Structure 1
């Protein structure tokens, strides 16, 4: 969500700079809106919001797909005795993978910020 909000702010500020320049607005106002664009983009890069958004959506779609498999009773959830346990195992593995990926990303960002 942060990625999308920052992108909308950048787009709005970019459009505002153009309009302010066309209206011959005072230079400090136009420059301030331009500076806001730099801040928004910097926040996005520092927070890795784009990469996090892509990972979030990929995981959500993968989980949704398995939810459909479970609801339909298709493989790997087609055996009545094990289907619930299989779904729970899938969820545990997915959450563990996501937690590990997030931790790796945070560590890399920390190392890159220290340099």
Structure 2
């Protein structure tokens, strides 16, 4: 198993830190966020497993929002990740819809998210 290089951007992994994070693996065109509320420690572990599953060598992690509540990346550059179990993942973005309408998603293939890894 190869060693993964981490770029942490001043993220704190102290116990009880629930600030939302996003991650970019290798030189992916997208930032990834897991579709669940979790601690930064859990996020780090889940991202590590995802990187190993796709053979990625570098993980960059940062907070989704800064201290002032401003997004650190544009929403169209962030893709949600759902772990379906058994090594299967679903990658998708929620599309803007009128209020009261059914939610719609844009789904991505792994090759779109990890062009060098998959």
TM-score by length of 1: 0.24
TM-score by length of 2: 0.24
Kindly indicate which of the two structures has a greater share of residues assigned to strand.
2
Which protein is bigger by CA-based radius of gyration? 1
